[in-house]
Structure 1
Amino acid sequence: MAFISVTRLRIRSIRFLPAFALDAWRTKRQAARAEGFLGGSLLGGRGRAFWTMTAWDGEASMRAYMTGGAHRTAMPRLMHWCDEASVTHWIEPGEALPSWTEAVRRMRAEGRISKVRHPSPRHADMSFDDPRLTGTAIPIRPAAGRV
């Protein structure tokens, strides 16, 4: 079984994209090296929205990643950079990532919003557009020697 974590962030202005891209690269690298990381995927959405899906050997491994290193450093900035943010988690049978269609369905049905300082009108009810599901996903694989 795998603990699945899905996040969706919408960057509120193009001016934050370069710094966001750098933080995204750093947190992707951190995840690949993290204990308990099984795999993941990044997905670019419409209108400066970005999705992550990661699989972990348990919630404790995901929380250790989330509260340390590059991810911990990036989180406070996201409250200012984003006007929409949400997250959902669940246990998936097996260790394979679910489809992005399933991740979007779960986000709509079970997701919760994250705190942002400048929420869009669509933030509270998560009335976001579906992401592009073809040709844009970038896999995240555990670093050599992990898992």
Structure 2
Amino acid sequence: MVFVSLTRLRVRSVWFMPGFFLYAIRSERQVRGAAGFLTGALLPDRDKTFWTMTAWDSEASMRAYMISGAHKAAMPKLLHWCDEASVAHWMQEADTLPSWEQADERMRTEGRASKVLHPSAAHAGLQYNAPRTAGSASIRPV
């Protein structure tokens, strides 16, 4: 079985974009070398919104990545930088990622809002527009 992690973040102001991108680059570099990482994808959406989807050999591997290195350093900043954040996790047989449309459906049905300090009106109910699925980029392990 493969553990899939899906995140959606909306940066609340262009002023936070440089820092967000710096930590995104560092986190992507970290995930490529993370133990248990199988594959992933990034999706820049509209309105300063960004999706990530990663596949892991286990939930433990994903959590070890999440609480270390660049990703750990970024997490507290996202509380302030984002006005919408959500996450969904699931197990699946296939070692390939689902489509972004399928991921969106998972987020809406199984996802949960993450803590942010300045939530939008739509944050708690995961009330967001369907993602623009063009422009996705793959993440491969090193």
**What is the TM-score with the length of structure 1 in the denominator?**
0.95
Letter paired with 1:105: E
Identity level (%): 58
Letter paired with 1:133: T
* Mapping of residues 66-81 of structure 1, within 5 Å: 66-81=66-81
* Mapping of residues 98-117 of structure 1, within 5 Å: 98-117=98-117
Query: How far is 1:105 from its partner?
Result: 0.2
- RMSD (Å) for aligned C-alpha atoms: 0.6
Corresponding residue for residue 60 of structure 2: 60
Corresponding residue for residue 139 of structure 1: 138
**Quick one: distance in 2 between partners of 1:54 and 1:21?**
18
Letter paired with 1:53: M
* Mapping of residues 1-147 of structure 1, within 5 Å: 1-134=1-134, 136-143=135-142
**Quick one: distance in 1 between partners of 2:33 and 2:119?**
33
**Quick one: distance in 1 between partners of 2:141 and 2:133?**
23
Query: How far is 1:93 from its partner?
Result: 1.0
Listed as ranges, the gaps of 5+ residues in structure 1 are none
Q: Secondary structure at the match of 1:120?
A: coil
Listed as ranges, the gaps of 5+ residues in structure 2 are none
**Quick one: distance in 2 between partners of 1:140 and 1:39?**
6
**What is the TM-score with the length of structure 2 in the denominator?**
0.98
Q: Deviations over 1:40-63 (max 9, x none)?
A: 000011110100000000000000
* Contact 1:46–1:129 (CA under 8 A) maintained in structure 2: no
What stretches of structure 1 move > 6 A for 4+ residues in a row?
none
Query: How far is 1:98 from its partner?
Result: 1.1
Query: How far is 1:130 from its partner?
Result: 1.2
